[in-house]
Every structure is written in structure tokens, then in C-alpha cells.
Amino acid sequence: MSESVSESLAETPSGPDYPWAVGSATGIGSLPGEDVREAVRLVMGELGAFPHLPELPGRGVGADLTGRSAGLLVDLYADVQPSGWRFADRPGRDHRRAVAWMREDLDALEEFTQGYVGPLKVQVAGPWTLAATIELPHGDKALADPGACRDLAGSLAEGVRNHVAEVRRRVPGATVVVQFDEPALPGVLAGSVPTASGFGKLRAVDKAVAREALRTVIDAAGAPAVVHSCAAGVPVGLLREAGTKAVSLDFSTLRDRQEEEIGEAVEAGLGFFFGVVPSLPPPTPSNRVANRAATRGNTGTGARPLSDPAGTVRGVKTLWRRLGFRPEQLGEAVVVTPTCGLAGADPAWVRRVLAHSVEAARVLHEAPES
């Protein structure tokens, strides 16, 4: 990203209700590789107006979405068993590894953000995704036990509060934005999350219960919150009621029936992180198998070619016109992102995606009339 573009975006005053600058772009969170210092350097260089703390799941156990966030829990511990993450009575090797990865990540973040002032995003798994991916010590997933879900949400709330305080201590000029990753939330609400055995489905969680747990962790963060999901059927209205400042989703998963819900959310001041830049390159004979493996279990990672920036955001502009909002409001309310995490992409594509996201955000803001 050129210094002129970065500086112009950083100096553009944001709307009164949004913590990011007008015409911003950011990443979802995950990147390929194992060198966190190189990852932070890349993010600060390409996303200098709205950087995020990189996640490197390629490092292994404890660096994955569930393990990374389980390491933040207060008075709850989890380790990996053959079936996956499971709660334990005391901190074990996997818990300690997750804590160590996070400490290393924050060390790198502090090193490369000296003097930084502006929004800074960190990501943690939301309470319902943790409940759907961590098992109880002698039973099913935590999602099957309402009491365990409440305890998990409370523990996560304390952990997020501590995490935000630590980030603020290390980067005092940052306006911390907390992204809660909830890929499992649509399935939790629909009753489609499999039991630990895989032979059945867990009962759907009532929307009021889901909303309360999300509100608990969002309030505890004490910072603007974004809830992200790459899955289809993101419950925008529920998330707005839970107190999130923005919803992050893959734009290609939106359906016509959701437009009214999105319109009501924008009118209420909700921002959107629209994933419009493909997180994976288009399939070729050499990368088709890798792309298929990387996208398994996800919807909408967007293995499409990169178009010109104006073409990338054309669908967003079209939606905005249909909803009847001011074109100038686009750059305030909408942040451009990749369609999903970038852990499955190669480094060259990652750099292209981040640079393209910044250019697309600039076009979205500077050319609203097109």
C-alpha cells in the first residue's frame, strides 16, 4: 500500500459513530505461515489505517481459533483430546501453548506499533462457537449444557476484558476493536450443530439466550465490537440487539430476504464489514486440490479472480442504491475485507488481497456516484 493512500485514509475524519476512518479496509484475522513478526509487519504495512492482530493457525495446536480463545478463558481450561478440544480440571500443555502463542503475538504487535494511533482490531472466538467446539470433561459439547454455556460466556467475558486491557497497555494509542468470530452461530440457532458422537444434532438455542450470551461478552469488552461469520444466514438483527457495533460477513452469502434486515441495521447505526475480496485465488490445475481443502467446511471463501477495485465493490453499491441510502454514507458505514480468513492462501496472494482491499475501500468512498 502506498504511503499517500494510507496517510489520506488515516487523516479522513470518521463518522461520529464509527471507530474506523472513512474508506477503511481491514483483514479478517488469519494469515498463512508461522512467523508472527513477519505477519504483523505485513499487516501494518498493507493495512496501516485499520490493522489487526494476525492469527497464525499454521503453527498448530493452541494457535487455532478455538485453542487461541480458550487460552483467554478465566478459571476454565481446555486441552486437546483425540476428539478435539475438551475442558480439563487444570491447565495442561495445550493451554500453556495457547497462552505462549498469544504472548508472542502481543510482543510482536507491540514491537511494530510504536507510535501508532488509530483503530486496532483483535479477534477472539465468540461464546457460541466455543460452546460448539469444546467438549465437557465427561460428556457432549458444552453447547448441550445450558449451565456450561453460561459459565463459558462469563469466563470469556473476563478473559476478553483482560485481553483488551493488555492490548491497550502495549499499544496506548490504539482504539481497540474486538471481533468475535462466530462461524458456528447460524448452526447453533438452527439446531444443526452435530453432537460429539456425530450421530445426532444438538437442540437449537433460543434466540434470546444466544443474544444474552453475546451481550455479556460484548459489554465486557468495553470496546467497539464486531461479530464475524463466513457462514450463510448471519442473524444481523440479533447481533444488533446484542450490542455489536458492526457485523462482518461474506457479501456473496447475502440473500434478497436479508436486505430489509440490513437496511434496518444501517438506519440504527450498525456498520458492516463486507467481505468482497476473494480470500483464495481462482482454482488452477496446480492449486485446485489445495483450494478445495482450504474451503472445506466454510462457505463463501470466494475463489474468484481479482477484478478492478470498482468491480469488486459494484455489488455493495448496487445494494446501497436499492436500500435508498446516501452514497456518501458508504465509506462511513462499510469496511472492505477479504471474504474470509487468509490462512489457506499463499503469501503472494495475501499481499495482493490486502492491497486490493485498500484500493477497493478507497473507490467505495471516493467514487460513490459510480
Residue 289, number of CB atoms within 10 A of its CB: 10
Quick check: 9 and 357 in contact, CB under 8 A?
A: no
Which regions in the chain score pLDDT beneath 50? Answer: 1-16, 290-303, 370
In DSSP terms, 180 is beta-bridged to 124, 227
Question: For position 9, what pLDDT does the model report?
Answer: 41
List the grid coordinates of 104. 508472542
**What are the phi and psi torsion angles at 102 (to 5°)?**
-65, -40
- Read off the CATH number of the domain in which 27 is found: 3.20.20.210
Q: Count, in order, helices (H) and strands (E) of the chain.
A: 15, 9
In whole angstroms, what is the distance from residue 338 CA to residue 344 CA? 12
Question: For position 7, what pLDDT does the model report?
Answer: 43
Question: For position 367, what pLDDT does the model report?
Answer: 54
pTM above threshold 0.85: yes
Helix (H) or strand (E) holding 101: helix 93-112
In whole angstroms, what is the distance from residue 80 CA to residue 96 CA? 12
User: Residue-wise over 92-126: b if at least 16 C-beta within 10 A, else e?
Assistant: eebbebbbebbeebbebbbebbeebebbbbbbbbb
List the domain range (segments joined by +) for residue 145: 3-366
Residue 147, number of CB atoms within 10 A of its CB: 8
SS3 262: helix
In whole angstroms, what is the distance from residue 301 CA to residue 306 CA? 13
Question: For position 58, what pLDDT does the model report?
Answer: 95
Per-residue 3-state assignment (H helix, E strand, C coil) for 47-59: CCCCCECCECHHH
How many domains are there within the chain? Answer: 1
CA 187 → CA 44, 204, 231, 339, 344, distances in Å? 34, 8, 9, 19, 23
Chain-centre distance of CA 242, in angstroms?
17
